[in-house]
């Protein structure tokens, strides 16, 4: 075997030794344990806030005034607050987490109840309306409230936030009342007086509380900023 033949064999890329050299020379990606924290710090923060509001919605179910068909609670206040502050994505996530916890049987619904039977019962419409309303109000917050924080006058910003919060609250009552009417076979007028009208003043008051809370968080920044 001549020198040229030895050189050809030595340079053969299929030989094990040469493969190892290629592997050792290939660039490698090294993942630092802190990469996740550096890239997604807001994700962790949003998850924490979503879990916090899910817990607040559950706590609001225990603050209640009993009425014949539908009790007055603070749940709607925290649902609207989550949607305004967290936006459509994370506000909806907080509501979905709350509902899932209740559906598996934990006593987080009004009166310390839980399970799928509550969702199918007279007050179930109010519960699943939380998801719909949190998405709509959160969408309006993303598009209207937060981008204009600092651009509008304090009065204009407050009125805008108030009307969005009231509209969301009334939509919860409307969906809940329609569900109540079909589940209990009540005529619309009776369902309206039992499931809608008595709650309107309280929802207006709750919406008034949402305004300074949102204003204190958004107006100071002068720009859109997720919680």
Supply the pLDDT for residue 92.
97
Per-residue pLDDT averaged across 135-146, rounded? 93
pLDDT in tens, 208-223: 999 988 877 775 544 4
Per-residue model confidence as pLDDT tens digits over 89-127: 999 999 999 999 999 999 999 888 999 999 999 999 999
DSSP codes, the chain:
--HHHHHHHHT-TTSHHHHHHHHHHS------TTHHHHH-HHHHHHHHHHHHHHHHHHHHTTSEE--SSS-EESHHHHHHHHHHHHHHHHHHHHHHHHHHHHHTT-S-BTTTB-SHHHHHSTTHHHHHHHHHHHHHHHHHIIIIIGGGTTTS-HHHHHHHHHHHHHHHHHHHHHHHHHHHHHHHT--HHHHHHHHTGGGHHHHHHHHHHHHHHHHHHHTTTTS----
Q: Does domain 23-218 have CATH number 2.40.30.10?
A: no
What integer pLDDT is reported at residue 90 of this predicted model? 95
Q: Where are the domains of the chain?
A: 23-218
Q: pLDDT tens for residues 141-171?
A: 999 988 877 777 888 888 999 999 999 999 9
Q: Would you state the pLDDT for residue 67?
A: 72
What is residue 219's predicted lDDT score, i.e. its pLDDT? 59
pLDDT of residue 11: 52
More confident residue, 87 or 71: 87
Q: How confident is the model at residue 28 (pLDDT cuts 50, 70, 90)?
A: very low
């Amino acid at each position: 075997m001549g020198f040229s033949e030895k050189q050809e064999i030595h340079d053969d890329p299929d030989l094990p030794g040469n493969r190892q050299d290629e592997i050792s020379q290939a660039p490698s990606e090294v993942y630092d344990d802190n990469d996740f924290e550096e890239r997604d710090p807001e994700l962790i923060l949003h998850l924490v806030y979503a879990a916090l509001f899910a817990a607040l919605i559950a706590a609001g179910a225990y603050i209640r005034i009993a009425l014949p068909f539908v009790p007055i609670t603070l749940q709607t206040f925290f649902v609207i607050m989550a949607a305004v502050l967290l936006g459509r994505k994370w506000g909806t996530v907080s509501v979905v987490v709350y509902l899932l916890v209740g559906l598996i049987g934990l006593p987080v619904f009004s009166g310390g109840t839980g399970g799928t039977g509550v969702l199918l019962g007279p007050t179930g419409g109010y519960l699943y309306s939380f998801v719909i309303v949190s998405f709509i109000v959160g969408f309006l917050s993303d598009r209207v409230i937060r981008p204009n924080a600092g651009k509008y006058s304090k009065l204009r910003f407050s009125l805008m936030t108030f009307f969005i919060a009231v509209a969301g609250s009334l939509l919860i009552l409307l969906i809940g009342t329609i569900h109540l009417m079909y589940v209990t076979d009540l005529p619309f007028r009776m369902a309206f007086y039992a499931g809608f009208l008595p709650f309107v003043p309280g929802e207006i008051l709750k919406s008034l509380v949402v305004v300074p809370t949102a204003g204190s968080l958004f107006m100071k920044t002068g720009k859109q900023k997720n919680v």
